Amino acid sequence: MFARIRNGLVVFLATLPFAASGALASFGVEEPEVEGHHLWDVDDPVDGFHHLWEEVMMDIIIIGVIFALITLYFLIKYRRKHNGQEGRPPKLSRAAKMGWVLIPVAIFMADDLFLAAEGWTLWKKYREVPENNIEIELESAMWSFNFTYPNGIETYNELRVPAGTPILVRMTSRDVVHSLYMPDFKVKEDSMPGRITYLWFLPKKVGEHVMTCAEYCGVMHSMMHGKVIVMTPENYQSWYKQEQAKLVEGGAGS
Amino acid sequence: MSTKTGKGKVIAEWIFTTDHKRVGILYLIGSLAAFLVAGLLAMVIRMELSEVGPQVTDPNTYNVMLYFHGAAMILGFQIPALTGFLANYLIPLQIGAKDVAFPRLNALSLWLFWMGIILALLTFVVPDPPDIMWTGYPPYSIISPGNTALYASTVLFMGFASIAGGVNLITTIIYMRAPGMTWGKLNMFVWTTLGAFIIQLVFVPVLGSAVIMLTMDKYLGTHFFNPASGGDVLLYQNLFWFYSHPAVYVILLPVLGIIFDITATFARNRIFNYWACVVGGVGGIVLISGEVWVHHLFTSGMPNWIRVGMMVSTLLISVPVGIMVLSLIGTLYRGAIEFKTPMLYAAGFIFLFLIGGLTGIPHAIASLDLALSDTHFVVAHFHYVMAVSGTFAIVGGVYYLFPKFTGKMYHEGLGKIGFVVTFIGANITFFFMFLVGLGGMPRRYFDYSHMPELQDLQQIVTYGAFILAAGLFITLASWLVGLFKGKKAEDNPWGSRSLEWTTKSPPGPGNWAEVPDCTDYDPYGYGEDR
């Protein structure tokens, strides 16, 4: 029996990396940053996310595989060989009964509290907004994301941001509950009427990312999406000034 | 009862029945009807999502179908099949009672349930069907053109049925046990159902008041959830999940209970560490169940202190659940397992439940949930842990009790084929749904034109769903063949030691000629060395 357990363990350890990497690959690996833009002294929660995600995946895959293999082994080993056969339940002493409760409880709790502590550290990163951010207001409505920049520029379903600066989105809603979800930045937050909530993220790589509504808001819920456009700081500045000029012009003309 | 004869008499007998076995069977028929309709709608939903762009429906119809699928599967299928059918049918038989404590109240709860089912089905008849999802969050449910009152009434009927059933069966378990039936001789199913009913009694009224407030907001102009007049939209979400998360354990507990009983019977083995499972497992789940609801609101701007508290309590729910899973796997140890169809479902359940339970851990961690909540990842998670695991337990339970409540044997071959097809289909469907969720697809989406890269995965999910549906139809065929052509069942076809199998198949009125004496009884009294 021990030989079988040993063989099982070998198989398990051999397959583990494949199973783990398969699960992890789907969530993407950190992408290289833009050249010329050096690392900002901002602790990006997305890095912490990937780290914790890998840890949790490892954790649950190990637990899951161990339990599944033991179950499979028992199901095969203890099948009924002849009619009328009965089980031979182990007789547990009082100490064994307590042990079978206390030891697993201690292990589960240690794991839970470890993950909770890690999760909490990361949570604080997600919620503590770094200095020198750009604060953009969001009012969501059925069915669009309406952003207002500090200088009064308004955009719809389009969030233009410079790479390298933390972006704080302070949000509320005009009508029903919506949720700003940006899958690439691993963050979402509900925007609700009568309440003000926020999220922040660090755009690093120039390019376009999806933003989409994650809280059911009616017929056009799935059509409520837009783009996060990460620009180089220079491009962003020229866009920002240009739009501001248009705004002033428009204001003067009216 | 009356002087009528023939068919009319039989139908009247069933409608006005107070016999717990008939009440149970009528619960089963109603819940399977809900399962069939909601399941067929799931097929349409999967067809819609199989490709980018509108496929077979329009967004309005799609949202109504999604609403019905969620509400009917949870309120109309799983809870009634477990706490209605299984609990009503099994508990008096397992504790040695002739009926439940209040047979007429039992009939009332059945009628309320059926009215709830009929109301829910009216969704397809009324001109303004609800499109507010089974959660019914305001303010959308207040300004929606859909019929919020229909939703609220359905919830209320089902809720009153649950409360009546809960009062009844808790009383039954406490006061109606046969002589000699001590607490230590109760089946795991009795213990878990007791836990589930305690949760129902504590939390259902909260949901009831939430939907009543919602109805008043929409139709009478009150402002509980209207921020413009000092109300709060988050109040509803808190009240809703204050019930609806414990509702998950209302489903989980009887599910584990019936799986324990099936496993013990077919492994001819004792429950491993019975009291740990009862006190630590069932007791622990009941205790923690009400302190975790904020994990549904991790992205809703709740204060930090409650988020960290509920993150820890949510992770800690793995402790009592872990104890029960250990006992379940331990029940296989040194058993003599016979793989009849019910046992296949119990064995399959363990694997599905492992995947479903463990994928709950990233959700429990608030900082990971920021990326995962309200995506297809959470949809896959709760389908594994609740929908598929729960349905496996219900289907396994129906197979297990089929000889008892019909007096016939189901078709074993079709049953086994049905299991294999269902198991494969369920895993294809929901494992790939995890990947769709990781790709960033939010739930309740009619279309995903801005995420076209997900189409390949979505198609696999749809194929899986059709395999799953085929498996369930084979299962249905195995039951129907058994019902009409099956051979007559023995009183105890599985060789179980549990009390319900000492009755005739099917049991007559009053279950036993005399109330059984349980002094030397042990529901799990297996073992060659005894």
pLDDT profile of chain B (530 residues), mean per 10: 69 89 94 95 94 91 94 94 94 94 94 94 92 91 91 94 94 94 94 96 94 94 89 93 93 96 94 93 94 92 88 93 95 93 96 95 93 94 95 96 94 95 96 94 93 93 96 96 93 92 90 89 78
Out of A188, A195, A213, closest to residue B299 by CB: A188
- Shortest distance, CA A69 to any CA of chain B (angstroms): 10
Contact check, Cβ <8 Å, B267/A87: yes
Cβ-based contacts of B350 with chain A (< 8 Å): 67-68, 71
A126 → chain B, closest CA residue:
B367
Cβ-based contacts of A172 with chain B (< 8 Å): none
Identify whether B135 is part of a domain.
yes
A223 → chain B, closest CA residue:
B447
Identify whether A83 is part of a domain.
no
Looking at residue A27, its pLDDT comes to: 53
Out of A27, A118, A217, closest to residue B140 by CB: A217
Say yes or no: A120 and A145 in one domain.
no
Please tell me the distance from the alpha carbon of residue A147 to that of residue A138, in angstroms, as a whole number: 5
Out of B312, B350, B527, closest to residue A116 by CB: B312
Please tell me the distance from the alpha carbon of residue A221 to that of residue B445, in angstroms, as a whole number: 7
Contact check, Cβ <8 Å, B268/A63: no
Looking at residue B359, its pLDDT comes to: 94
Contact check, Cβ <8 Å, A108/B144: no
Q: Which two tokens stand for residue A171?
A: 């949000």
A81 → chain B, closest CA residue:
B336
Cβ-based contacts of A53 with chain B (< 8 Å): 362, 368
Task: Tell me if chain A has a CB within 8 Å of the CB of B60.
Answer: yes
Say yes or no: A61 and A172 in one domain.
no
Cβ-based contacts of B326 with chain A (< 8 Å): 100, 104
Q: CB contacts < 8 Å between A and B, how many?
A: 266
Identify whether B254 is part of a domain.
yes
Identify whether B98 is part of a domain.
yes
Identify whether B4 is part of a domain.
no
Identify whether A233 is part of a domain.
yes
Q: How many CB atoms lie within 10 A of CB B443?
A: 20
Which residues 222-261 of B are in CB contact (within 8 Å) with A?
Answer: 227-228, 231-234
Task: Give the strands of the sheet with A207-213, arranged side by side.
Answer: A158-162, A225-231, A207-213, A178-182, A187-191
Please tell me the distance from the alpha carbon of residue B248 to that of residue B250, in angstroms, as a whole number: 5
Largest Cα–Cα distance of chain A, in whole Å? 95
Q: Are B126 and B147 in contact (CB under 8 A)?
A: yes
The total number of structural domains that make up chain A = 2
Out of A87, A113, A125, closest to residue B527 by CB: A87
Identify whether B235 is part of a domain.
yes
Say yes or no: A148 and A248 in one domain.
yes
Which residues 373-392 of B are in CB contact (within 8 Å) with A?
Answer: 373-375
Say yes or no: A173 and A215 in one domain.
yes
Domain, as residue range, for A220: 134-253
The total number of structural domains that make up chain B = 1
Looking at residue A8, its pLDDT comes to: 47
Instruction: Mark which of A127, A145, A167 sits at the end of a domain.
Output: A127
B299 → chain A, closest CA residue:
A189
Q: Taking the C-alpha atoms of B138, B142, B146 and B152 in order, what is their torsion angle to the nearest 10 degrees?
A: 70
Say yes or no: A121 and A177 in one domain.
no
Residue whose structure tokens are 């990163």: A125
CATH number at residue B396: 1.20.210.10
Looking at residue B442, its pLDDT comes to: 94
Q: Label residues B178-216 b or e (16+ Cβ within 10 Å = b).
A: beebeeebbbbbbbbbbbbbbbbebbbebbbebbebbbe
Cβ-based contacts of B527 with chain A (< 8 Å): 86-89
Identify whether A86 is part of a domain.
no
A125 → chain B, closest CA residue:
B367
Q: Are A53 and A118 in contact (CB under 8 A)?
A: no
Looking at residue A24, its pLDDT comes to: 47
Looking at residue B1, its pLDDT comes to: 46
Omega into B183 within 30° of 0, i.e. cis?
no
Please tell me the distance from the alpha carbon of residue B146 to that of residue B148, in angstroms, as a whole number: 6
What is the amino acid identity at position B16? F
Say yes or no: A122 and A149 in one domain.
no
Mutate to test the interface with B, among A44, A60, A185, A216 (most CBs of B within 10 A): A216
Contact check, Cβ <8 Å, A187/B440: no
pLDDT digits (tens, 9 = 90+) for A127-168: 999 988 999 999 999 989 999 999 889 999 999 999 999 999
Out of A78, A89, A195, closest to residue B234 by CB: A195
**Residue stretches of chain A with pLDDT short of 50:** 1-2, 4-5, 8-12, 17-18, 20-21, 24-26, 28-38, 253-254
Identify whether A149 is part of a domain.
yes
Looking at residue A38, its pLDDT comes to: 46
CATH number at residue A200: 2.60.40.420
Strand duo A225-231 + A158-162: pairing? parallel
- Shortest distance, CA B387 to any CA of chain A (angstroms): 19
| DSSP bridge partners of A180 | A189, A213
Rounded (5°) CA angle A134-A211-B146? 120
Residue B336: name the closest of B417, B264, B424, B390 by CA.
B264
Contact check, Cβ <8 Å, A194/B231: yes
Cβ-based contacts of A214 with chain B (< 8 Å): 299, 373-375, 442-443
Say yes or no: A232 and A116 in one domain.
no
Identify whether A201 is part of a domain.
yes
Looking at residue A254, its pLDDT comes to: 46
Say yes or no: A13 and A69 in one domain.
yes
Conformation bin of residue B180: beta by default, left when phi > 0, alpha when psi is -120 to 50:
left
Please tell me the distance from the alpha carbon of residue A107 to that of residue A32, in angstroms, as a whole number: 38
Cβ-based contacts of B315 with chain A (< 8 Å): 112-113, 115-116
pLDDT digits (tens, 9 = 90+) for A69-101: 999 999 999 999 988 888 888 888 999 999 999
Identify whether B9 is part of a domain.
no
Residue B358, H or E segment? helix B341-358
Task: Tell me if chain A has a CB within 8 Å of the CB of B87.
Answer: no
Q: Which two tokens stand for residue A85?
A: 């056969």
Domain, as residue range, for B215: 18-502
Looking at residue A123, its pLDDT comes to: 92
Mutate to test the interface with A, among B367, B384, B524 (most CBs of A within 10 A): B367
Looking at residue B204, its pLDDT comes to: 93
- Shortest distance, CA B390 to any CA of chain A (angstroms): 19
Cβ-based contacts of A45 with chain B (< 8 Å): 367
Looking at residue B402, its pLDDT comes to: 95
Mean model confidence pLDDT for chain A: 85
Residue A135, H or E segment? strand A134-141
Q: Tell me which DSSP letter residue A220 carries.
A: T
Contact check, Cβ <8 Å, A218/B131: yes
**Alpha helices of B138-289 — where are they, by DSSP H?**
140-143, 148-175, 188-215, 233-267, 274-275, 284-289
B301 → chain A, closest CA residue:
A197
Rounded (5°) CA angle B179-B184-B186? 70
Identify whether B326 is part of a domain.
yes
Mutate to test the interface with A, among B225, B299, B345 (most CBs of A within 10 A): B299
Contact check, Cβ <8 Å, A218/B140: yes
Residue B132, CA atoms < 13 Å, CB-side half-sphere: 27
Contact check, Cβ <8 Å, B232/A74: no
Cβ-based contacts of A213 with chain B (< 8 Å): 442
Say yes or no: A141 and A228 in one domain.
yes
Task: Tell me if chain A has a CB within 8 Å of the CB of B510.
Answer: no
B131 → chain A, closest CA residue:
A218
Cβ-based contacts of B300 with chain A (< 8 Å): 190, 192, 197
Identify whether B114 is part of a domain.
yes
Q: Taking the C-alpha atoms of B410, B413, B419 and B420 in order, what is their torsion angle to the nearest 10 degrees?
A: 180
